[in-house]
């Protein structure tokens, strides 16, 4: 048993007994209530899932095992000659609730390197797809094609004790995370760069290597951006659409590849992860229409109002939970202030930050007029030459695996059951409202 797995086993066994006995003893205790708007409105705020790895607060934003993004930047080991945290460290923290040492993180980088061989059939599946296929569709199919290697599926088919579900789930989680950058970079190169590929550099960390395989080989700042990007997108507690989809699928004992493929179908929606492509697409359309990359505040305001008047949302703004600017937006802004000087698209992102909230606020119905994570990322990627915005959600998807996979290990270790909420029809809801008025 490897060192991280052993640590996870010890921690999760202890919590499992406490979890089981607490629910057995106090399972009937009421811990909240649900109103009619929550029943009808996408279950906003309904507490109905155990998710150990991170927590989202409407005002403070995301914390990973209680640590904010600025704290992660202080506490987690960083890359060679780089100030940004390594995603390996965040995975370690999310999985076993301990800040890893440099040595731990080095071990994890090596471990993922060892596990990174992608099954041939993934390349065969991708070869059968037109390069015009949306990169998220390619990514989802590739993840599902990796299922051929699922340790969980193999061991389950031979007869696996419930107490051991966590073990092959850990193996699948580690293998999936190790392989995602290889697959994602392969999709990028086949789609946009004539199928010319870059080999992994064994001396690099997980994110640095991903930057290398994408083909941005000569820019250390881009590697730094990837380390930050893959850290801050990693988890957003369990209720967001992609994490929740993964959680639901995995509750049926579908393995990590099938459940993560499903999570990615959810991330590919424009109200969720696809918003990162929509933001820069919208900014490009704005600069094209205005015939300038240095628009005035008046021009920007008019463009925002025109978008709203056409019945569309402003991509990158608003959130189902947050009620303040997203700390992941702020982390990217801080990065840009430090690494990038006077870039027109970055400047537009900041101009939007100065303009959009007042306009959305004045509508009187938008609960959160502030930017979310997707408002900033495109301009940073464009700055480093990654202009193919249809690819952006794949980057988000590589990162999100860290949180969803760590949480999936916990779900199997705690023995969480099949998810099965109750649906009702409108008549039931009307009667319930009448009864409780
Ligand atoms: N632009 C215009 N209108 C917006 C808006 C935006 N950015 N955000 C919310 N609204 C509107 C909603 O469409 C809704 O209008 P109707 O009542 O006419 O249907 C109203 O304001 C109330 O919505 P809300 O309660 O504030 O927001 P929701 O929780 O329903 O939705 C979200 C949240 C993110 C889907 C929404 O803010 C949105 O569509 N944002 C733009 C897309 C986006 O950036 N998504 C990425 C989110 C982060 C991520 O998951 O990656």
**Any bridge partners for residue 317, and if so which?**
371
pTM for this prediction: 0.97
Span from the CA of 360 to the centroid of ligand 1 (angstroms): 10
Q: What percent of the chain clears pLDDT 70, i.e. is strictly above it?
A: 100
Nearest-atom number in ligand 1 for the CA of 241 is 50
Instruction: Give CA angle at 189 (340, 389), nearest 5°.
Output: 50
Q: Closest Cα to atom 50, ligand 1: which residue? A: 272
Where do we find the tokens 């929606």? Answer: 269
User: pLDDT tier at 79 (50, 70, 90 boundaries)?
Assistant: confident
Span from the CA of 272 to the centroid of ligand 1 (angstroms): 10
For 270-298, what is each residue's pLDDT tens digit?
Answer: 999 999 999 999 999 999 999 999 999 99
**Residues within 6 Å of ligand 1 by CB:** 271-273, 275, 308, 313-320, 360, 365-368, 372-374
Amino acid 417: pLDDT? 96
Q: Is residue 396 a contact partner of residue 267, using CB atoms and an 8 Å limit?
A: yes
For 301-336, what is each residue's pLDDT tens digit?
Answer: 999 999 999 999 999 999 999 999 999 999 999 999
User: pLDDT tier at 81 (50, 70, 90 boundaries)?
Assistant: confident
Q: Closest Cα to atom 16, ligand 1: which residue? A: 365
User: pLDDT tier at 202 (50, 70, 90 boundaries)?
Assistant: confident
Span from the CA of 432 to the centroid of ligand 1 (angstroms): 28
Amino acid 301: pLDDT? 98
For 100-131, what is each residue's pLDDT tens digit?
Answer: 999 999 999 999 999 999 999 999 999 999 99
Q: Is residue 3 a contact partner of residue 95, using CB atoms and an 8 Å limit?
A: no
Neighbour-count burial for 238-269, b at 16+ CB within 10 Å, e otherwise: bbbbbbbbbbbbbbebbbbbbbbbbbbbbbbe
Nearest-atom number in ligand 1 for the CA of 320 is 29
- Best mutation site among 318, 319, 322, 324 for ligand 1, i.e. most ligand atoms within 8 A of its Cβ? 318
Q: Closest Cα to atom 37, ligand 1: which residue? A: 318
Amino acid 65: pLDDT? 98
Q: How many CB atoms within 10 Å of residue 374? A: 27
Span from the CA of 69 to the centroid of ligand 1 (angstroms): 24
- CA distances in angstroms from 105 to 76, 133, 225, listed in the order given: 9, 36, 18
Q: Is residue 365 a contact partner of residue 329, using CB atoms and an 8 Å limit?
A: no
- Best mutation site among 136, 274, 283, 313 for ligand 1, i.e. most ligand atoms within 8 A of its Cβ? 313
Span from the CA of 214 to the centroid of ligand 1 (angstroms): 32
User: pLDDT tier at 362 (50, 70, 90 boundaries)?
Assistant: very high
Average pLDDT value for the chain: 97
Where do we find the tokens 């979890």? Answer: 19
User: pLDDT tier at 180 (50, 70, 90 boundaries)?
Assistant: very high
Amino acid 367: pLDDT? 97
CA-based nearest residue to 204, from 325, 106, 59, 343: 106
Span from the CA of 312 to the centroid of ligand 1 (angstroms): 10
Nearest-atom number in ligand 1 for the CA of 372 is 48
Instruction: Give CA angle at 140 (387, 234), nearest 5°.
Output: 70
Tell me the catalytic residues.
272, 319, 374
Mean pLDDT along residues 21-46: 92
Mean pLDDT along residues 224-242: 98
Q: What percent of the chain clears pLDDT 90, i.e. is strictly above it?
A: 97
């Amino acid at each position: 048993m490897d060192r991280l797995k052993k640590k996870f086993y010890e921690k999760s066994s202890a919590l499992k007994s406490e979890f089981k006995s607490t629910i057995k003893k106090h399972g009937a205790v009421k811990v909240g209530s649900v109103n009619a708007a929550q029943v009808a409105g996408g279950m906003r705020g309904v507490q109905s899932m155990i998710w150990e790895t991170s927590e989202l607060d409407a005002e403070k934003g995301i914390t990973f095992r209680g640590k904010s993004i600025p704290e992660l930047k202080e506490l987690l080991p960083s890359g060679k000659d780089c100030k940004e945290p390594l995603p390996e460290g965040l995975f370690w923290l999310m999985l076993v609730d301990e800040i890893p040492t440099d040595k731990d993180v080095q071990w994890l980088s090596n471990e993922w390197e060892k596990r990174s061989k992608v099954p041939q059939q993934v390349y065969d599946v991708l070869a059968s797809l037109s390069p015009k296929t949306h990169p998220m569709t390619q990514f989802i199919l590739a993840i599902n094609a990796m299922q051929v290697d699922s340790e969980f599926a193999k061991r389950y088919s031979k007869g696996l004790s419930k107490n051991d579900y966590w073990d092959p789930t850990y193996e699948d989680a580690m293998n999936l995370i190790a392989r995602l950058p290889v697959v994602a970079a392969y999709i990028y190169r086949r789609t946009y760069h004539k199928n010319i590929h870059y080999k992994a550099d064994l001396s690099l960390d997980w994110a640095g290597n991903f930057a290398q395989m994408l083909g941005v080989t000569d820019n250390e700042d881009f590697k730094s951006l990837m380390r930050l990007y893959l850290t801050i997108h990693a988890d957003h507690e369990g209720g967001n659409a992609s994490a929740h989809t993964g959680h639901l699928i995995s509750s049926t004992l579908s393995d990590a590849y099938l459940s993560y493929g499903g999570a990615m179908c959810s991330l590919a929606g424009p109200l969720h992860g696809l918003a990162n492509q929509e933001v820069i697409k919208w900014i490009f359309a704005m600069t094209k229409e205005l015939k300038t990359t240095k628009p005035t505040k008046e021009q920007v305001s008019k463009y925002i109002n025109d978008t709203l008047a056409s019945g569309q949302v402003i991509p990158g703004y608003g959130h189902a939970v947050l009620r303040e600017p997203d700390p992941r937006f702020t982390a990217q802004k801080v990065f840009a202030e430090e690494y990038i000087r006077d870039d027109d698209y970055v400047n537009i992102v900041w101009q939007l930050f100065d303009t959009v909230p007042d306009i959305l606020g004045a509508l009187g119905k938008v609960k959160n007029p502030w930017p979310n994570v997707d408002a900033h990322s495109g301009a940073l990627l464009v700055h480093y030459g990654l202009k193919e915005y249809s690819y952006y959600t794949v980057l988000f998807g590589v990162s999100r695996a860290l949180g969803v996979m760590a949480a999936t290990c916990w779900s199997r270790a705690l023995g969480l059951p099949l998810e099965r909420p109750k649906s009702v029809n409108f008549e039931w809801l009307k009667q319930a409202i009448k009864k409780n008025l």
